[in-house]
Structure 1
Amino acid sequence: MPDKTHGFDTLQIHAGARPDPATGARSTPIYQTTAYVFRDADHAAALFNLQEVGFIYSRLTNPTVAVLQERIATLEGGVGAVCCSSGHAAQIMALFPLMAPGRNVVVSTRLYGGTVTQMTQTIRRFGWSAKFVDFDDLDAIRAAVDDDTRAIFCESIANPGGYITDLDAVSQIARDVGLPLIVDNTTATPYLCRPFEHGATLVVHSTTKYLTGNGTVMGGCVVDSGTFDWAASGKFPSLSDPEPAYHGLKFAETFGPMAFTFHGIAIGLRDLGMTMNPQAAHYTLCGIETLSLRMERHVRNAVKVAKWLEADPRVDYVTYAGLESSKYHDRVARICPRGAGGLFTFAVKGGYDACVRLIDAVEIFSHVANLGDTRSLIIHSASTTHRQLEANQLVAAGAAPEVVRVSIGIEDADDLIADLDQALAKATA
């Protein structure tokens, strides 16, 4: 079993995985079981009292999922991780130990449309609220924080526009105000960006996307850096105060750097039930084994396609941070040193109607509500993934009516360019 000093390409294959002790199976088995036999009554009691680590019930822990959790935590440089049923589930799981009725989270305006809806509508039902801020305006982030703020939330590479967040600057603000910074690293993956190295506290993923990489299964993950002192301020009683369900156990005191991870399993999965199924974990483990190879191709293709689009007179602008013309280009080397990812938008001359015609004309690109697939994907965000947003929210999120979002796959880049060429001809005729 390699340790964290090994290279990324080694860890993406081996981290967390061991030959099956019963059969010697080299690939991680799918442990398709709901429950596990205890050695005896004392063993069962120790597990339920959190005095011993082990498997109780697959809503909480499962051997296949456990391997995936260790692998993602290792690749991110964290101390632990909790996998769950989807990326949206991961966001709720991350906020759940931190928030309470009347509390708020400061979030970036540049977020996936479903996350904007989750933050503006759904979390209100818990009594939580979100303050949306342009994260390029650091003073605005500071000004938005108040006594009820419990976290700061952003995406490393924002969906849909591919904007790169200055994680170093944002994390400094989080440290200054004593709050955790939660970074959605779905679009970048730990191959392109490791938010903990830039001061983040927690990382969330939709493992549905690049980590799995083939559009087959849903999943999410919350990774803990293990660096935040949850007891220092008194603002996070779920982690610092006695937990009645475990006879007064204090997670921060008992588990130290692993407090957030243990809480996510013992409380979050126990009561919210957002469980990842073992087959999904298996597919994602298989996908991660080729993550670096795929991300290299995604980036290389994205650069080539974005440059071609930027030079095309039928296109108004391209938002890809990998272009020298991008206002975020200077952040690539610092935040995402291996490249700016494979996701961006471009504006089609002719506006909304031309975008719709473009979508209907592509042949290789797939028109789907997903990203991070080996296949190249395209969507008109304003009429689909971000449709629920108001006009000003669409613009702020980078999903204006005249733009389409592309997730560049690993096909031959010249074929992708040819497909966009013929589709633009039809869209702008």
Structure 2
Amino acid sequence: MSQNRTPEDGCREDVREDAQAGADAPGSEFGFATRSIHSGYDPSANHDSASAPIYPSVAYALRSAKHADALASGEVSGFSYSRVANPTVDALEQRIAQLEGGIGAVTVGSGMAAVSFALLCAAEGGGRIISPTDLYGASVDAMDSFFPQFGVHTDFVDDINDLAEVESKIGPDTRAIFAETVANPSTEITDLKPLADLAHRHGIALIVDNTVPTPYLLRPIEFGADIVVHSTTKGISGHGNALGGVIVDAGNFDWTNGRFPHLTRKELVISDERNGVWHSFAEAFGNAAFIRRIRTKYVRTFGAVLSPFNAYLQMVGLETLPQRVRQEVATAKLIAQHLRGVDHIVRVNYSGLDDDPQHELVAQYLPQGVGTVLSFEVEGDESHVNRIVDGVKLFSYVPNIGDSRSLIVNPARITHREVPERYRLAAGVNDNLLRLSIGLENPADLIADLDQAIAGAY
């Protein structure tokens, strides 16, 4: 068990850091659907409640001075303050860590908090990140214009699968490569294995956003990713009713290789000053150094905490993740195929189509489908886009993905508005592009809705 934590850092690390569920909960020997319902939660530790309870308490009784001291020092495990750990949130973290195959996970208040904390923690103190521009708009904006204010800079590449271009950007200050496993909204696939191999040859970490496929369709850790982030707002929650994000640590990266001095520097927050015992995160937590720094320094200090109510909703969403995504992917592929033959559509972006140039990568990484997001470009100008979004009746005009409802949005004006034009156009996000997130409605109804809206726009 790790030692010398702060009084607020009372968490069940003997459970979490092994990414194991409670004593009676299924582990990795069970199938994905079983684990998405049962893993990470022990009813016997919660008054035999079949469903994980919502623990709305801010703080937890320390019982006695002796117990409080033991809890603060790490000699015993438990909960003390919900800004750092909460029983409901803890169950969600354990479940997602198991589903992704990581040693531990930390949830946060939103997907952008997950992206920001993961990248800042990797590049803290003046490091650099390598990233493509074909990303969710807020991620590009953060790396391009905001992170530099904190001394963290990004070297952008046109194609994350061009290993020569990526390698040319690696310098002494490079800390991580960042990419989306399935890009939003182009659905371009990242070739994870060679990218991970390249990163590891240079002692840098591979951090990936796995929001679009969810762990049901793809588990990047199996292909060498070191850190996986999600906007749990999306497919994991699945119903558009709960913001959240998560960071998962594979536990395989050597954070002591010299590129990450903040993880090998002695820190008071995890040390015992009175007794002259000092630790770095790497010394105290070994291969869990990164995820423990996320919890202790980023979540505890910046406070982007996931509420227990949102954690509960996301656990409920996880229970039906395989069934939802399976149906949504099947419908998304049908719609993408249909749109290819519709008048006034000049391009359809969905890498899950059988004749897509990335078909071999899809077969390697995403044999069950690439996800529920697709995009298409229409003829004419922005006025036609506006008429389409105003003309749909079943599709909701909503800037979200992964919902049980089908959604439509014009990315150039909404989700990618803050992306510099040169990056936006390089990613194919022009004023004539529309993005769809496919839900659980009848496929024929969705196709009919798109057909009438597109015909009406012209």
TM range (shorter): over 0.9
Shift of 1:36: 0.5
Q: What is the distance in 2 between the residues matched to 1:426 and 1:245?
A: 62
Bigger drift between 275-284 and 98-107 goes to 98-107
Q: Is the aligned partner of 1:235 residue 2:259?
A: yes
Bigger drift between 97-106 and 297-306 goes to 97-106
Write out aligned runs for 1:135-146 (5 A).
Answer: 135-146=160-171
> C-alpha offsets along residues 131-182 of structure 1, whole Å, 9 cap, x if unaligned?
1112132211101111111111000011111111111121111111111100
Q: Which runs of 5+ in 2 are unaligned?
A: 1-24, 272-277
Q: What is the distance in 1 between the residues matched to 2:234 and 2:46?
A: 32
Q: Is the aligned partner of 1:368 residue 2:368?
A: no
Q: What is the distance in 1 between the residues matched to 2:290 and 2:71?
A: 18
Q: What is the distance in 2 between the residues matched to 1:347 and 1:254?
A: 52
Q: Is the aligned partner of 1:214 residue 2:244?
A: no
Output the amino acid matched with 1:228.
Answer: F
Q: Is the 8 A contact 1:298 1:410 kept in 2?
A: yes
Q: Is the aligned partner of 1:91 residue 2:125?
A: no
Shift of 1:315: 0.8
Q: Is the aligned partner of 1:245 residue 2:269?
A: yes
Shift of 1:254: 2.2
Bigger drift between 108-117 and 328-337 goes to 328-337
Residue 42 of structure 2 is matched in structure 1 by 18
Paired positions, count: 427
Residue 200 of structure 1 is matched in structure 2 by 225
The normalised TM-score by structure 1 is 0.97
Q: Is the 8 A contact 1:20 1:29 kept in 2?
A: no
Structure 2 vs 1, CA of residues 417 and 156 (structure 1 numbering), >3 Å: closer, same or farther? same
Q: What is the distance in 1 between the residues matched to 2:265 and 2:74?
A: 16
Q: Is the aligned partner of 1:269 residue 2:275?
A: no
Output the amino acid matched with 1:327.
Answer: P
Q: Is the aligned partner of 1:54 residue 2:78?
A: yes
Output the amino acid matched with 1:421.
Answer: D
Residue 345 of structure 2 is matched in structure 1 by 315
Task: Name the % identity.
Answer: 43
Q: Which runs of 5+ in 1 are unaligned?
A: none
Q: Is the aligned partner of 1:299 residue 2:329?
A: yes
RMSD: 1.3
Shift of 1:236: 1.3
Output the amino acid matched with 2:184.
Answer: N
Output the amino acid matched with 1:36.
Answer: Y
Q: Is the 8 A contact 2:113 2:245 kept in 1?
A: yes
Q: Is the aligned partner of 1:110 residue 2:134?
A: yes
Residue 96 of structure 2 is matched in structure 1 by 72
> C-alpha offsets along residues 329-368 of structure 1, whole Å, 9 cap, x if unaligned?
2211111121111101101111322111111110100001
Q: Is the 8 A contact 1:20 1:26 kept in 2?
A: no
Residue 386 of structure 2 is matched in structure 1 by 356
Bigger drift between 242-251 and 10-19 goes to 242-251
Residue 259 of structure 1 is matched in structure 2 by 289
Q: Is the aligned partner of 1:130 residue 2:149?
A: no
Q: What is the distance in 2 between the residues matched to 1:66 and 1:186?
A: 20
From 174, 187, 199, give the equivalent of 2:199. Answer: 174
> C-alpha offsets along residues 243-282 of structure 1, whole Å, 9 cap, x if unaligned?
1323322222222222222222222221111110100000
Q: Secondary structure at the match of 1:295?
A: helix
Write out aligned runs for 1:415-426 (5 A).
Answer: 415-426=445-456
Shift of 1:103: 1.7
The normalised TM-score by structure 2 is 0.91
Q: What is the distance in 1 between the residues matched to 2:36 and 2:445?
A: 30
Q: Is the aligned partner of 1:398 residue 2:428?
A: yes
Output the amino acid matched with 1:135.
Answer: I
Residue 440 of structure 2 is matched in structure 1 by 410
From 401, 419, 442, give the equivalent of 1:389. Answer: 419
Q: What is the distance in 2 between the residues matched to 1:283 and 1:369?
A: 20
Shift of 1:415: 0.5
Output the amino acid matched with 2:437.
Answer: S
Residue 209 of structure 2 is matched in structure 1 by 184
Q: Is the 8 A contact 2:120 2:152 kept in 1?
A: no
Q: Is the 8 A contact 1:20 1:28 kept in 2?
A: no
Q: Is the 8 A contact 2:329 2:372 kept in 1?
A: yes
> C-alpha offsets along residues 160-207 of structure 1, whole Å, 9 cap, x if unaligned?
111111111211111111111000000010001100011000000100
Residue 164 of structure 1 is matched in structure 2 by 189
Residue 42 of structure 1 is matched in structure 2 by 66
Shift of 1:22: 5.3
